[in-house]
Protein backbone atom coordinates (compact mmCIF):
# COMPACT_ATOMS: atom_id res chain seq x y z
CA UNK A 1 0.00 0.00 0.00
CA UNK A 2 1.28 3.50 -0.79
CA UNK A 3 1.42 6.22 1.86
CA UNK A 4 -1.67 8.41 1.97
CA UNK A 5 -3.19 11.21 3.99
CA UNK A 6 -6.18 10.37 6.20
CA UNK A 7 -8.67 13.19 6.69
CA UNK A 8 -11.77 13.46 8.91
CA UNK A 9 -14.08 16.22 7.67
CA UNK A 10 -17.10 17.04 9.82
CA UNK A 11 -19.24 18.64 7.09
CA UNK A 12 -20.15 17.84 3.49
CA UNK A 13 -18.63 21.16 2.33
CA UNK A 14 -15.31 20.30 4.00
CA UNK A 15 -15.34 16.81 2.46
CA UNK A 16 -15.98 18.23 -1.01
CA UNK A 17 -13.05 20.65 -0.58
CA UNK A 18 -10.74 17.83 0.48
CA UNK A 19 -11.75 15.84 -2.62
CA UNK A 20 -10.85 18.64 -5.01
CA UNK A 21 -8.18 17.71 -7.52
CA UNK A 22 -5.89 20.59 -8.38
CA UNK A 23 -4.70 19.37 -11.78
CA UNK A 24 -6.89 19.96 -14.86
CA UNK A 25 -8.90 17.09 -16.25
CA UNK A 26 -8.20 14.42 -13.66
CA UNK A 27 -10.01 11.66 -15.48
CA UNK A 28 -10.77 8.84 -13.11
CA UNK A 29 -11.43 8.35 -9.47
CA UNK A 30 -8.91 5.51 -9.46
CA UNK A 31 -6.16 7.60 -11.02
CA UNK A 32 -3.03 7.67 -8.87
CA UNK A 33 -3.06 10.52 -6.42
CA UNK A 34 -6.73 11.46 -6.73
CA UNK A 35 -8.33 11.88 -3.28
CA UNK A 36 -11.24 9.51 -2.66
CA UNK A 37 -14.12 9.36 -0.19
CA UNK A 38 -14.37 6.50 2.27
CA UNK A 39 -17.66 5.11 3.56
CA UNK A 40 -17.40 1.73 5.31
CA UNK A 41 -14.03 1.00 3.66
CA UNK A 42 -15.11 -2.53 2.67
CA UNK A 43 -14.10 -2.06 -0.95
CA UNK A 44 -11.72 0.86 -1.12
CA UNK A 45 -9.32 -0.45 1.53
CA UNK A 46 -9.12 -3.77 -0.32
CA UNK A 47 -8.37 -2.08 -3.63
CA UNK A 48 -5.65 -0.03 -1.90
CA UNK A 49 -4.10 -3.08 -0.21
CA UNK A 50 -4.12 -4.88 -3.54
CA UNK A 51 -2.55 -1.81 -5.21
CA UNK A 52 -5.39 -1.38 -7.66
CA UNK A 53 -6.02 2.15 -6.41
CA UNK A 54 -3.49 4.54 -4.88
CA UNK A 55 -5.27 7.62 -3.56
CA UNK A 56 -2.95 10.16 -1.99
CA UNK A 57 -5.75 11.19 0.38
CA UNK A 58 -8.71 9.38 1.91
CA UNK A 59 -11.66 11.54 2.93
CA UNK A 60 -13.43 9.66 5.70
CA UNK A 61 -17.12 10.55 5.51
CA UNK A 62 -18.08 8.87 8.78
CA UNK A 63 -17.48 11.98 10.90
CA UNK A 64 -20.19 13.93 9.03
CA UNK A 65 -23.28 14.04 11.19
CA UNK A 66 -26.75 13.29 9.88
CA UNK A 67 -25.80 11.04 6.94
CA UNK A 68 -26.57 7.84 8.87
CA UNK A 69 -30.34 8.22 9.18
CA UNK A 70 -33.33 6.60 7.51
CA UNK A 71 -36.43 8.80 7.44
CA UNK A 72 -39.94 8.26 6.09
CA UNK A 73 -42.23 5.35 5.45
CA UNK A 74 -44.32 3.71 2.70
CA UNK A 75 -46.78 6.64 2.63
CA UNK A 76 -44.18 9.44 2.39
CA UNK A 77 -41.31 7.64 0.70
CA UNK A 78 -37.81 7.15 2.14
CA UNK A 79 -34.77 9.37 2.62
CA UNK A 80 -31.75 7.16 3.22
CA UNK A 81 -28.48 8.82 4.26
CA UNK A 82 -25.39 7.73 2.33
CA UNK A 83 -23.74 6.43 5.53
CA UNK A 84 -26.66 4.17 6.46
CA UNK A 85 -25.28 0.65 6.72
CA UNK A 86 -26.62 -2.36 4.85
CA UNK A 87 -27.63 -3.84 8.23
CA UNK A 88 -29.69 -0.76 9.05
CA UNK A 89 -31.55 -1.14 5.73
CA UNK A 90 -32.11 -4.84 6.17
CA UNK A 91 -33.46 -4.45 9.72
CA UNK A 92 -35.56 -1.31 9.32
CA UNK A 93 -39.18 -2.20 10.11
CA UNK A 94 -40.80 0.33 7.70
CA UNK A 95 -38.56 -0.91 4.87
CA UNK A 96 -39.30 -4.56 5.59
CA UNK A 97 -43.03 -3.81 5.57
CA UNK A 98 -43.35 -1.20 2.82
CA UNK A 99 -40.34 -1.90 0.54
CA UNK A 100 -39.67 -5.65 1.02
CA UNK A 101 -37.49 -5.92 -2.10
CA UNK A 102 -35.07 -3.37 -0.67
CA UNK A 103 -34.69 -5.27 2.60
CA UNK A 104 -34.17 -8.49 0.59
CA UNK A 105 -31.52 -6.85 -1.60
CA UNK A 106 -29.60 -5.61 1.47
CA UNK A 107 -29.88 -9.01 3.15
CA UNK A 108 -28.53 -10.78 0.04
CA UNK A 109 -25.17 -9.00 0.33
CA UNK A 110 -22.05 -10.74 1.68
CA UNK A 111 -21.89 -11.45 5.43
CA UNK A 112 -23.33 -9.76 8.55
CA UNK A 113 -19.86 -8.38 9.33
CA UNK A 114 -19.58 -6.71 5.90
CA UNK A 115 -23.18 -5.48 6.09
CA UNK A 116 -22.46 -3.93 9.50
CA UNK A 117 -19.75 -1.75 7.94
CA UNK A 118 -20.71 -1.33 4.27
CA UNK A 119 -22.70 1.84 3.56
CA UNK A 120 -25.39 2.53 1.00
CA UNK A 121 -23.29 5.24 -0.74
CA UNK A 122 -20.24 2.95 -0.87
CA UNK A 123 -22.33 0.04 -2.12
CA UNK A 124 -23.55 2.08 -5.10
CA UNK A 125 -20.02 3.36 -5.89
CA UNK A 126 -18.02 0.16 -5.28
CA UNK A 127 -15.66 -0.83 -8.09
CA UNK A 128 -16.17 -3.82 -10.44
CA UNK A 129 -15.16 -7.34 -9.47
CA UNK A 130 -13.80 -8.47 -12.88
CA UNK A 131 -10.80 -10.72 -12.15
CA UNK A 132 -8.57 -8.80 -14.52
CA UNK A 133 -9.46 -5.48 -12.89
CA UNK A 134 -8.68 -6.93 -9.45
CA UNK A 135 -5.22 -8.22 -10.41
CA UNK A 136 -2.51 -5.67 -9.73
CA UNK A 137 -0.29 -6.84 -12.60
CA UNK A 138 -3.00 -6.61 -15.27
CA UNK A 139 -3.50 -3.23 -16.92
CA UNK A 140 -6.68 -3.69 -18.89
CA UNK A 141 -8.79 -1.02 -20.58
CA UNK A 142 -10.47 -0.04 -17.33
CA UNK A 143 -7.08 0.60 -15.72
CA UNK A 144 -5.72 2.73 -18.56
CA UNK A 145 -4.51 -0.10 -20.82
CA UNK A 146 -5.59 -0.82 -24.38
CA UNK A 147 -7.30 -4.21 -24.17
CA UNK A 148 -10.21 -5.91 -22.46
CA UNK A 149 -8.83 -9.30 -21.49
CA UNK A 150 -12.23 -10.64 -20.48
CA UNK A 151 -13.60 -10.20 -24.01
CA UNK A 152 -11.76 -13.30 -25.16
CA UNK A 153 -10.41 -14.70 -21.85
CA UNK A 154 -12.03 -15.84 -18.59
CA UNK A 155 -15.47 -14.33 -19.04
CA UNK A 156 -17.77 -16.66 -17.12
CA UNK A 157 -18.79 -13.82 -14.79
CA UNK A 158 -18.90 -10.97 -17.32
CA UNK A 159 -21.66 -9.13 -19.16
CA UNK A 160 -24.14 -10.56 -21.64
CA UNK A 161 -25.99 -7.27 -22.16
CA UNK A 162 -24.64 -3.77 -22.88
CA UNK A 163 -20.99 -4.89 -22.91
CA UNK A 164 -18.05 -3.44 -24.83
CA UNK A 165 -15.44 -2.19 -24.88
CA UNK A 166 -15.34 -3.33 -21.19
CA UNK A 167 -17.52 -6.28 -20.14
CA UNK A 168 -17.78 -5.71 -16.37
CA UNK A 169 -20.99 -6.47 -14.57
CA UNK A 170 -22.28 -3.92 -12.10
CA UNK A 171 -21.63 -5.33 -8.59
CA UNK A 172 -24.19 -3.61 -6.34
CA UNK A 173 -27.26 -5.55 -5.26
CA UNK A 174 -28.96 -2.42 -3.97
CA UNK A 175 -28.76 -0.60 -7.30
CA UNK A 176 -31.16 -2.78 -9.38
CA UNK A 177 -33.74 -2.77 -6.58
CA UNK A 178 -33.46 0.97 -5.98
CA UNK A 179 -33.91 1.60 -9.72
CA UNK A 180 -36.97 -0.66 -9.78
CA UNK A 181 -38.35 1.46 -6.94
CA UNK A 182 -37.72 4.71 -8.88
CA UNK A 183 -35.00 6.01 -6.52
CA UNK A 184 -32.79 9.07 -6.98
CA UNK A 185 -29.46 10.05 -5.43
CA UNK A 186 -28.68 13.46 -3.97
CA UNK A 187 -25.13 14.46 -4.93
CA UNK A 188 -23.17 17.35 -3.43
CA UNK A 189 -20.17 18.95 -5.11
CA UNK A 190 -18.43 22.34 -5.34
CA UNK A 191 -21.43 23.94 -7.07
CA UNK A 192 -23.98 22.65 -4.58
CA UNK A 193 -26.61 19.91 -4.54
CA UNK A 194 -28.21 18.09 -7.44
CA UNK A 195 -30.60 15.16 -7.62
CA UNK A 196 -30.01 12.43 -10.20
CA UNK A 197 -32.45 9.63 -11.04
CA UNK A 198 -30.57 6.44 -10.25
CA UNK A 199 -31.33 5.01 -13.69
CA UNK A 200 -29.31 7.94 -15.14
CA UNK A 201 -26.48 7.64 -12.58
CA UNK A 202 -24.56 4.62 -13.91
CA UNK A 203 -22.78 4.79 -17.27
CA UNK A 204 -22.12 2.12 -19.86
CA UNK A 205 -18.43 1.75 -20.84
CA UNK A 206 -19.34 2.60 -24.44
CA UNK A 207 -21.11 5.81 -23.43
CA UNK A 208 -18.43 7.69 -21.58
CA UNK A 209 -15.13 7.23 -19.82
CA UNK A 210 -14.45 3.50 -19.75
CA UNK A 211 -12.52 3.94 -16.47
CA UNK A 212 -15.59 5.17 -14.59
CA UNK A 213 -18.89 3.55 -13.70
CA UNK A 214 -21.06 6.57 -12.93
CA UNK A 215 -21.56 10.28 -13.55
CA UNK A 216 -19.87 11.53 -10.35
CA UNK A 217 -17.05 14.05 -10.62
CA UNK A 218 -13.99 13.54 -8.43
CA UNK A 219 -15.19 16.06 -5.87
CA UNK A 220 -18.81 14.89 -5.70
CA UNK A 221 -20.24 12.77 -2.94
CA UNK A 222 -23.58 11.05 -2.59
CA UNK A 223 -25.29 12.34 0.53
CA UNK A 224 -28.74 10.76 0.30
CA UNK A 225 -30.86 8.24 -1.59
CA UNK A 226 -34.53 9.11 -2.07
CA UNK A 227 -37.11 6.39 -2.68
CA UNK A 228 -40.55 7.71 -3.61
CA UNK A 229 -43.79 6.35 -2.20
CA UNK A 230 -45.19 4.10 -4.89
CA UNK A 231 -48.04 1.70 -5.47
CA UNK A 232 -45.42 -0.86 -6.58
CA UNK A 233 -43.19 -0.76 -3.49
CA UNK A 234 -45.23 -3.19 -1.39
CA UNK A 235 -45.11 -5.81 -4.17
CA UNK A 236 -41.37 -5.70 -4.72
CA UNK A 237 -38.78 -8.44 -4.50
CA UNK A 238 -35.10 -9.13 -5.17
CA UNK A 239 -33.98 -12.58 -6.28
CA UNK A 240 -30.27 -13.31 -6.53
CA UNK A 241 -28.45 -16.41 -7.74
CA UNK A 242 -25.04 -17.02 -6.14
CA UNK A 243 -22.61 -19.66 -7.30
CA UNK A 244 -21.40 -21.07 -3.98
CA UNK A 245 -21.43 -19.17 -0.69
CA UNK A 246 -23.19 -16.26 0.98
CA UNK A 247 -20.13 -14.12 0.15
CA UNK A 248 -20.69 -14.39 -3.58
CA UNK A 249 -21.72 -11.55 -5.83
CA UNK A 250 -24.70 -12.20 -8.12
CA UNK A 251 -24.18 -14.44 -11.14
CA UNK A 252 -27.53 -12.97 -12.00
CA UNK A 253 -30.28 -11.18 -10.10
CA UNK A 254 -33.69 -9.69 -10.71
CA UNK A 255 -35.38 -6.77 -8.99
CA UNK A 256 -39.11 -6.70 -9.71
CA UNK A 257 -41.98 -4.53 -8.56
CA UNK A 258 -45.60 -4.50 -9.72
CA UNK A 259 -48.88 -2.77 -9.04
CA UNK A 260 -51.94 -4.98 -9.53
CA UNK A 261 -55.54 -3.89 -9.86
CA UNK A 262 -58.38 -5.40 -7.88
CA UNK A 263 -59.14 -7.89 -10.65
CA UNK A 264 -55.62 -9.37 -10.48
CA UNK A 265 -54.16 -7.79 -13.61
CA UNK A 266 -50.96 -5.76 -13.74
CA UNK A 267 -51.31 -1.98 -13.77
CA UNK A 268 -47.56 -1.19 -13.94
CA UNK A 269 -44.32 -3.13 -13.55
CA UNK A 270 -40.58 -2.63 -13.23
CA UNK A 271 -37.94 -5.24 -13.97
CA UNK A 272 -34.22 -4.52 -13.47
CA UNK A 273 -31.52 -7.16 -13.97
CA UNK A 274 -28.29 -7.39 -11.96
CA UNK A 275 -25.06 -9.30 -12.61
CA UNK A 276 -25.55 -9.36 -16.39
CA UNK A 277 -24.55 -5.88 -17.65
CA UNK A 278 -22.12 -3.06 -16.80
CA UNK A 279 -25.07 -1.15 -15.32
CA UNK A 280 -28.28 -2.35 -13.64
CA UNK A 281 -30.24 -3.37 -16.75
CA UNK A 282 -33.82 -2.20 -17.06
CA UNK A 283 -36.12 -4.34 -19.23
CA UNK A 284 -38.76 -1.89 -20.56
CA UNK A 285 -40.24 -4.21 -23.22
CA UNK A 286 -40.75 -6.93 -20.63
CA UNK A 287 -42.34 -4.39 -18.27
CA UNK A 288 -44.78 -3.19 -20.98
CA UNK A 289 -45.70 -6.75 -21.92
CA UNK A 290 -47.15 -7.29 -18.44
CA UNK A 291 -49.53 -4.33 -18.36
CA UNK A 292 -53.19 -5.35 -18.40
CA UNK A 293 -52.32 -9.05 -18.05
CA UNK A 294 -52.75 -11.63 -15.32
CA UNK A 295 -49.44 -13.12 -14.23
CA UNK A 296 -50.04 -16.59 -15.67
CA UNK A 297 -47.34 -18.93 -16.98
CA UNK A 298 -47.55 -17.65 -20.57
CA UNK A 299 -47.24 -14.00 -19.52
CA UNK A 300 -44.26 -14.75 -17.28
CA UNK A 301 -42.49 -16.71 -20.02
CA UNK A 302 -42.98 -13.89 -22.54
CA UNK A 303 -41.71 -11.27 -20.06
CA UNK A 304 -38.65 -13.44 -19.35
CA UNK A 305 -37.96 -13.80 -23.07
CA UNK A 306 -38.27 -10.06 -23.66
CA UNK A 307 -36.08 -9.19 -20.66
CA UNK A 308 -33.16 -11.07 -22.21
CA UNK A 309 -33.72 -10.04 -25.81
CA UNK A 310 -30.56 -8.55 -27.18
CA UNK A 311 -28.30 -10.65 -24.93
CA UNK A 312 -24.95 -11.36 -26.61
CA UNK A 313 -23.13 -13.89 -24.43
CA UNK A 314 -19.35 -14.20 -24.46
CA UNK A 315 -17.69 -17.59 -24.90
CA UNK A 316 -18.21 -18.79 -21.30
CA UNK A 317 -21.34 -17.08 -20.00
CA UNK A 318 -24.28 -18.17 -22.17
CA UNK A 319 -25.65 -19.92 -19.04
CA UNK A 320 -26.68 -16.48 -17.79
CA UNK A 321 -29.51 -16.26 -20.34
CA UNK A 322 -31.69 -19.18 -19.10
CA UNK A 323 -30.64 -18.51 -15.49
CA UNK A 324 -31.83 -14.91 -15.66
CA UNK A 325 -35.03 -15.85 -17.50
CA UNK A 326 -35.85 -18.26 -14.69
CA UNK A 327 -35.22 -15.56 -12.08
CA UNK A 328 -37.47 -13.12 -13.97
CA UNK A 329 -40.32 -15.67 -14.00
CA UNK A 330 -39.87 -16.49 -10.32
CA UNK A 331 -39.62 -12.87 -9.22
CA UNK A 332 -42.80 -11.94 -11.11
CA UNK A 333 -44.64 -14.98 -9.79
CA UNK A 334 -43.61 -13.97 -6.26
CA UNK A 335 -44.75 -10.35 -6.48
CA UNK A 336 -47.93 -11.46 -8.24
CA UNK A 337 -48.71 -13.91 -5.47
CA UNK A 338 -48.39 -17.09 -7.60
CA UNK A 339 -46.84 -20.18 -6.05
CA UNK A 340 -44.81 -21.54 -8.98
CA UNK A 341 -42.98 -20.34 -12.09
C1 LIG B 1 -16.17 -10.32 0.40
C2 LIG B 1 -17.13 -9.27 -0.06
C3 LIG B 1 -18.32 -9.67 -0.66
C4 LIG B 1 -19.23 -8.70 -1.09
N5 LIG B 1 -20.38 -9.11 -1.72
C6 LIG B 1 -21.24 -8.17 -2.17
C7 LIG B 1 -22.43 -8.55 -2.87
O8 LIG B 1 -22.70 -9.71 -3.08
N9 LIG B 1 -23.25 -7.55 -3.28
C10 LIG B 1 -22.99 -6.23 -3.08
O11 LIG B 1 -23.80 -5.38 -3.45
N12 LIG B 1 -21.87 -5.84 -2.44
C13 LIG B 1 -21.00 -6.78 -1.99
N14 LIG B 1 -19.87 -6.38 -1.35
C15 LIG B 1 -19.61 -4.93 -1.19
C16 LIG B 1 -20.03 -4.45 0.19
O17 LIG B 1 -21.31 -4.79 0.39
C18 LIG B 1 -19.99 -2.91 0.40
O19 LIG B 1 -21.18 -2.33 0.08
C20 LIG B 1 -19.04 -2.26 -0.48
O21 LIG B 1 -17.80 -2.81 -0.18
C22 LIG B 1 -18.92 -0.76 -0.34
O23 LIG B 1 -19.39 -0.20 0.84
P24 LIG B 1 -18.45 0.69 1.75
O25 LIG B 1 -19.31 1.64 2.49
O26 LIG B 1 -17.56 -0.18 2.53
O27 LIG B 1 -17.66 1.52 0.64
P28 LIG B 1 -16.14 1.98 0.58
O29 LIG B 1 -15.24 0.82 0.44
O30 LIG B 1 -15.87 2.95 1.66
O31 LIG B 1 -16.19 2.77 -0.81
C32 LIG B 1 -16.43 2.10 -2.04
C33 LIG B 1 -16.31 3.13 -3.18
O34 LIG B 1 -17.34 4.09 -3.08
C35 LIG B 1 -16.81 5.41 -2.90
N36 LIG B 1 -17.72 6.05 -1.94
C37 LIG B 1 -18.02 5.63 -0.69
N38 LIG B 1 -18.98 6.39 -0.16
C39 LIG B 1 -19.30 7.32 -1.09
C40 LIG B 1 -20.23 8.39 -1.14
N41 LIG B 1 -21.06 8.67 -0.14
N42 LIG B 1 -20.28 9.15 -2.28
C43 LIG B 1 -19.46 8.89 -3.32
N44 LIG B 1 -18.57 7.88 -3.34
C45 LIG B 1 -18.50 7.09 -2.24
C46 LIG B 1 -15.38 5.22 -2.43
O47 LIG B 1 -14.55 6.28 -2.79
C48 LIG B 1 -15.01 3.92 -3.14
O49 LIG B 1 -14.63 4.19 -4.46
C50 LIG B 1 -18.95 -7.32 -0.88
C51 LIG B 1 -17.77 -6.92 -0.26
C52 LIG B 1 -16.86 -7.88 0.14
C53 LIG B 1 -15.61 -7.42 0.80
S1 LIG C 1 -14.19 -6.41 -18.46
FE2 LIG C 1 -13.43 -4.34 -18.00
S3 LIG C 1 -12.34 -4.66 -16.06
FE4 LIG C 1 -12.54 -6.69 -17.02
S5 LIG C 1 -10.74 -7.01 -18.34
FE6 LIG C 1 -12.27 -6.07 -19.61
S7 LIG C 1 -11.81 -3.85 -19.47
FE8 LIG C 1 -10.82 -4.84 -17.73
The finding on whether 162 has its CB within 6 A of some atom of ligand 2 is no
Domains delineated in the chain: 234-336 (3.30.390.50)
| Ligand (nearest to CA of 124) | 1
What is the full DSSP assignment across 242-292?
-SSSTTPPPSEEEEEEEEE-TTSBEEEEEEEEESSSSS-EE-HHHHHHHBT
Closest ligand 1 atom, residue 43 Cα: 29
Strand order in the sheet with 36-38: 5-7, 57-60, 36-38
Residues counted in the chain: 341
What is the CA(215)–ligand 2 centre distance, in A? 19
Ordered alpha helix ranges (H), the chain:
12-19, 44-49, 86-91, 93-98, 100-107, 112-117, 120-125, 131-134, 174-180, 284-290, 297-307, 320-336
Closest ligand 2 atom, residue 148 Cα: 6
Mutate which of 36, 38, 39 for ligand 1? The one with the most ligand atoms within 8 Å of its CB, which is 39
pLDDT at 339: 47
Question: pLDDT band at residue 31, thresholds of 50, 70 and 90?
Answer: low
pLDDT at 192: 96
- Give the rounded percent of residues in the chain with a pLDDT score beyond 70: 96
CA distances to 66, 97, 195, 242 from 70, rounded to whole Å, are 10, 14, 18, 29
Nearest residue (CA) to ligand 2, atom 2: 166
Residue 24 confidence (pLDDT) above 60: no
Mutate which of 48, 86, 121, 222 for ligand 1? The one with the most ligand atoms within 8 Å of its CB, which is 121
Q: What is the pLDDT of residues 201-222, one digit of tens each?
A: 999 999 989 999 999 999 999 9
pLDDT at 22: 64
Exposure on the CB side of residue 319, measured as CA atoms within 13 A: 10
Residue 287 and residue 83: Cα distance in Å, rounded? 32
The finding on whether 122 has its CB within 6 A of some atom of ligand 1 is yes
The finding on whether 221 has its CB within 6 A of some atom of ligand 1 is yes
Strands 57-60, 5-7: pairing kind: parallel
Query: Which residue, among 279, 65, 285, has the nearest Cα to 164 in the 3D structure?
Result: 279
What is the CA(246)–ligand 1 centre distance, in A? 16
CA distances to 149, 170, 205, 272, 302 from 165, rounded to whole Å, are 10, 15, 6, 22, 30
pLDDT at 312: 98
**What is the CB neighbour count within 10 angstroms for residue 306?**
20
Residue 43 confidence (pLDDT) above 90: yes
Residue 23 confidence (pLDDT) above 60: no
Angle at 154 between CA 153 and CA 160, to 5 degrees: 95
The finding on whether 149 has its CB within 6 A of some atom of ligand 2 is yes
What is the CA(172)–ligand 1 centre distance, in A? 8
State the chain's mean pLDDT as an integer.
95
Helix (H/G/I), strand (E/B), else coil: 326: helix
Mean pLDDT of the region 149-166: 98
What is the CA(143)–ligand 2 centre distance, in A? 8
**Please, is 305 exposed, middle or buried when counting C-beta atoms within 10 Å of its C-beta (0-12, 13-18, 19+)?**
middle
Query: Between 320-336 and 297-307, two packed helices, what is the crossing angle to 10 degrees?
Result: 140
Mean pLDDT of the region 74-101: 98
Question: pLDDT band at residue 2, thresholds of 50, 70 and 90?
Answer: confident
The DSSP symbol for 294 reads B
What is the CA(126)–ligand 1 centre distance, in A? 4
Q: What is the dihedral of CA 270, 276, 281, 285, to 10 degrees?
A: -60
Question: pLDDT band at residue 246, thresholds of 50, 70 and 90?
Answer: confident
pTM for the structure as a whole: 0.97
The finding on whether 114 has its CB within 6 A of some atom of ligand 1 is yes
CA distances to 17, 173, 260 from 28, rounded to whole Å, are 17, 23, 44
H or E stretch covering 37: strand 36-38
Amino acid sequence: MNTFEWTNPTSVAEAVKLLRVEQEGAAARDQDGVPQPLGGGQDILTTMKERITRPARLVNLKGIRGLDKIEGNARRGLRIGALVTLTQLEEHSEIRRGFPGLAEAAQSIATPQIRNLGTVGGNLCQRPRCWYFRLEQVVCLKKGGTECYAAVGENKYNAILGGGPSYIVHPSDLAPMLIALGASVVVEGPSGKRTIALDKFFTLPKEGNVRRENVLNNDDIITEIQVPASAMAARSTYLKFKERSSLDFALSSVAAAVEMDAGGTVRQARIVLGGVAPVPWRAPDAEKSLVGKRLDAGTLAEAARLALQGAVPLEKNAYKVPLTQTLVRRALAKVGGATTA
